[in-house]
Chain A
């Protein structure tokens, strides 16, 4: 049995079994998890630079070793009650893929919890949730030791309208439009 379990894990690592490793974090006492391969690093909270014209959940930008990355407060994103940032407040630096372009972003969460391996069979389809967390952002639910863990689709969440890079209208096109 033990041997079997170890074998399972090896297979998962080798990619033989359909299973993925997840990193979970807490947000208002609920546990959420994201694909661990998307996690680049974890950082403590440091004040960020505010950017004008942004929705309130977009806290601003920070310097990640020379590149500027945006930081999103997930509590605010999901309209959860605000808390002041404390010593356990963590910025998870993640890689988001949008139209084949990889971008690096930070998400602010209450605390990082654990890593798990879930295989397909364990994952229940996402329910139709109304409310602040749209089911579009949820890939599934997992029951784990009496707790419910919500698997989050990071690409869908971060590429939602407000965050997505707007297609730049080139100046000449604007002018062309104006003059037509």
Chain B
């Protein structure tokens, strides 16, 4: 057996991590469904099997204990308790770190393993005491887990040719053995006849089995094993021997989890080939266990590369279309070429969409994480919380998904900590004792909106206002609308918590959430009713790779402004522009004075002559100017531009790949003529302008 198994280890670990995630989320939503227990069991089982195959005997043995618990859960609905679920969650965590340790080649914390094993024993043990007439399996396994001695059973199983005809199936026997411990099955195919002599219902294979169990009751174990072979005793030669202090299982052939594969490969004469195939099949079947039938694992890098190529194709296609346009203007006509280009355009668009879709993943990957968060945090806070998840299948780009995890965690923690009241308070207020947090995702105009809704106390506007004044974020005299007060919570340094709690209120709060979401080209808004609850809406683009944008002309330069940050475009009379000090210009926009940023100035460096040129725009030379009103973090500014042209989708290319990040720019994009246009970032522009004008934002000096 000289197959190099190490190449499959990565695959095994990957599958196992995913399996554990599934196990965790299933445990958290578990309400007693048999199918759920089955799926959790399958995960544990394939981890055990895989770990056995690759020689991670510690993991295999530990998983075996977990499996016992699950098996008990499967057969005895009364066994399920809060305590058991928590224990299983701990086991998931431990398995995860065990696998991680294997991946990183680090040592395991043996104490944790023993500790948790003891807990598992305890829960099983107490059960056994309570219920003396327990089934055999539990009794046996209790023995196993309480012992430190490991025992290896060697079983030579030589069935007769007639065994299959008697209605006995070796696969089931092996499955039964696998229940007892870690099983390694080695087939012997020496007796296989020539294919012409092959009879389908005869059994030509014999097996050598290694069964590793932890247990000190040898007698009982022997009986257990014997019992498995009870029905086939007359049809086979059976030899069972035991070796105490078993050596570490070396990866030989295949784990117990897929014994049926041996049969599938029974026709294969060459044992070495068959082994490789067995492993292949094992891996395939493992991914089917994961539930993603018919899917392919692809490196994200490869997808990005493909995405880039398609982006290029779009540009090339646009270039051809432009060339044709100019030829048509010159009176040249070629209908076939026109038609072909039209088709090319359609195809490229479809291809682009297809590639985009490949990067999309259901948002449940992030959402499932929060079940655990809510479970843990509500326990810490002694609050009763029900988490309701809606729209978990909503698809979102992988890169966006990776970046919304933290902000969402923050919002959910806030909802749990500040939003929901304690059970007593809730009852006093005439609300159900159990609070509800709804996490809901849906698509809206090319964006994904995620709502975090709680039925807690809602935002206390008076408290926010008081706190904001205390923190010097606003002055006592300022009159603010309700919405403006709500917007205060997104200011840096703002916190309503009177004391810093473990969970939230470390001083960095909603402003970070806001900025992180805005850096993705999205936004956060809040609706709240005092005493009834709050709803935070996080709006993020479907993807970061493509944005909807507006082409904007400033002198001979062309920029792209993301549509999401545009409120409207207006012409204003230069005579209506107000000045404050030397270079600060304001316009009257719906009874609000907005700061004007001249995009021409944006390009100039901070040298003296630029001011003279810049002032030009605001003088009477132009009767009116074109202004785009943009918004970011509740701040509105007017961008002075020369002209607008088309709205379209743009493929975003980061500048930092070969250069560096520039404040005020999201990146660049390649236009139809092959030239580069820079994509403006409203938030960055505002921040930059504040710096340039030395307008110290009122919140900058907050000292906590």
Whether B519 and A171, one on each chain, are in contact in the complex, defined by CB atoms closer than 8 angstroms, is yes
Whether, in the assembled complex, B463 has its beta carbon less than 8 Å from a beta carbon of chain A, the answer is no
0/1 interface trace, chain A 53-78, chain B, CB 8 Å (1 if under)? 11010001111011111100000000
CB distance from B661 to the nearest CB of A (A): 6
**A49 near B676 (CB under 8 angstroms)?**
yes
B-chain residues with CB within 8 Å of residue A164 when the two chains form the complex: 660
Chain B residues 545-591 with CB under 8 Å of chain A are: 557
State which of A49, A56, A65, A176 has its C-beta within 8 Å of the C-beta of B677: A49
Known: A50-B603, A62-B676, A179-B493. A68 touches B655 (CB 8 A): yes
Query: Do A49 and B668 touch across chains, with their CB atoms under 8 A apart?
Result: yes
A63 touches B675 (CB 8 A): yes
Q: Of residues 35 to 57 in A, which have CB atoms within 8 Å of B's CB atoms?
A: 47-54, 56
Chain A positions within 8 Å of B515 at CB level:
171, 175
* Cross-interface CB contact of A69 among B658, B664, B677, cutoff 8 Å: B658
Q: Tell whether, in the assembled complex, residue B512 and residue A172 are in contact, meaning their CB atoms are under 8 Å apart.
A: yes
Contact of A146 with B by CB under 8 A: no
The size of the chain B interface, using a CB distance under 8 A, is 42
Are A178 and B700 in contact, CB atoms less than 8 angstroms apart?
Answer: yes
The residues of B that contact A172 with a CB separation of less than 8 Å are: 508, 512, 516
Of the candidates A50, A52, A165, which one forms a contact with B660 in the assembled complex, judged by CB atoms under 8 Å apart? Answer: A165
Q: Given contacts A68-B659, A175-B511, is CB(A49)–CB(B702) below 8 Å?
A: no
Stretch at the interface among B22-30, B181-189, B307-315: B307-315
Partner of A68, one of B312, B493, B663, B668: B668
Q: What is the CA–CA distance of A163 and B511 in the complex, to the nearest angstrom?
A: 31
Is B634 at the interface (CB under 8 A from chain A)? no
In A115-163, the 8 Å CB interface with B consists of 163
Q: How many A-B residue pairs have CB under 8 A?
A: 104
Q: How far is the CB of A71 from chain B (nearest CB, A)?
A: 10
B659 and A53 contacting across the interface, CB-CB below 8 Å: no
Contact A69 B702 (CB under 8 A): no
Q: Is B657 part of the binding interface, using a Cβ–Cβ cutoff of 8 Å? A: yes
Q: Which residues of B contact A163 (CB under 8 A)?
A: 660
- In chain B, positions 452-511 with a C-beta closer than 8 Å to chain A are 492-493, 507-508, 511
Task: Give the complex CA separation of A168 and B662 in angstroms.
Answer: 10
Report the Cα distance A126→B694, complex, angstroms: 45
Is A63 in contact with B674, judged by CB distance below 8 angstroms?
yes
Are B659 and A69 touching (Cβ within 8 A)?
Answer: yes
- Give the docked Cα–Cα distance between A165 and B656 (Å): 7
Which A residue's beta carbon lies closest to that of B669?
A68
Asked if B675 and A179 sit within 8 Å, CB to CB, the answer is no
Smallest CB separation, B589 vs chain A (Å) = 25
Question: B695 at interface (Cβ–Cβ under 8 A)?
Answer: no
Most A CB within 10 A of own CB, among B654, B656, B664, B667: B656
How does the 8 Å CB contact mask read for B599-634 relative to A, with 1 for contact and 0 for none?
Answer: 000110100000000000000000000000000000
**Bound form: Cα–Cα A56–B605 in Å:** 9
- Closest chain B CB from A175 CB (angstroms): 5
In the bound complex, residues from chain A placing their C-beta under 8 Å from that of B92 are none
B663 x A53 contact (CB < 8 A): yes
CA–CA, A164 and B661, complex, Å: 10
Shortest Cβ distance from residue A164 to the other chain B in the assembled complex, whole angstroms: 7
Cα distance, A176 to B512, chains bound together (Å)? 9
A48 with B676, Cβ < 8 A, contacts A66-B312, A176-B508 known: yes
Cross-chain contact A52 with B602 (CB below 8 angstroms): yes
- Please pick, from A56, A69, A168, the residue contacting B661 in the complex, using a CB distance under 8 A: A168
Q: Does A108 contact B (CB under 8 A)?
A: no
Task: Please give the distance in Å from A61's CB to the nearest CB on chain B.
Answer: 5
Min CB distance A53 to B, Å, is: 6
Q: Are A51 and B657 in contact (CB under 8 A)?
A: no
B window 630-660: CB within 8 A of A: 653-660
Q: How far is the CA of A62 from the CA of B669 in the complex (A)?
A: 10
Q: Say yes or no: B676 contacts A175, CB within 8 Å.
A: no
| Contact partners of B665 in chain A: CB under 8 A | 51-52
The answer to the question of B678 belonging to the interface, with a C-beta cut-off of 8 Å to chain A, is yes
Contacts of A175 in B (CB 8 A): 492, 508, 511-512, 515
Q: Shortest distance in angstroms between A106's beta carbon and chain B's nearest beta carbon? A: 9
Kindly name the residue among B602, B657, B661 whose own CB sees the greatest number of chain A CB atoms within 10 A. Answer: B657
Chain B, 508-534, contact with A by CB distance < 8 Å: what is the 0/1 string?
100110011001000000000000000
Q: Is A92 located at the chain interface by the 8 A CB criterion?
A: no
Residues of A within 8 A of B308 (CB): 66-67
18 additional contacts (CB under 8 A) given A165-B656, A171-B516: A49-B675, A53-B605, A61-B659, A62-B676, A66-B309, A66-B311, A68-B653, A68-B658, A68-B668, A69-B658, A104-B658, A165-B659, A165-B660, A175-B508, A175-B512, A175-B515, A178-B492, A179-B507
A-B contact pairs, 10 of them (CB 8 A): A49-B675, A51-B678, A52-B602, A53-B664, A66-B315, A66-B653, A105-B659, A175-B515, A179-B492, A180-B704
Pairs of residues from A and B, 4 with the lowest C-beta to C-beta distance, nearest first: A49-B676, A70-B659, A165-B660, A66-B312
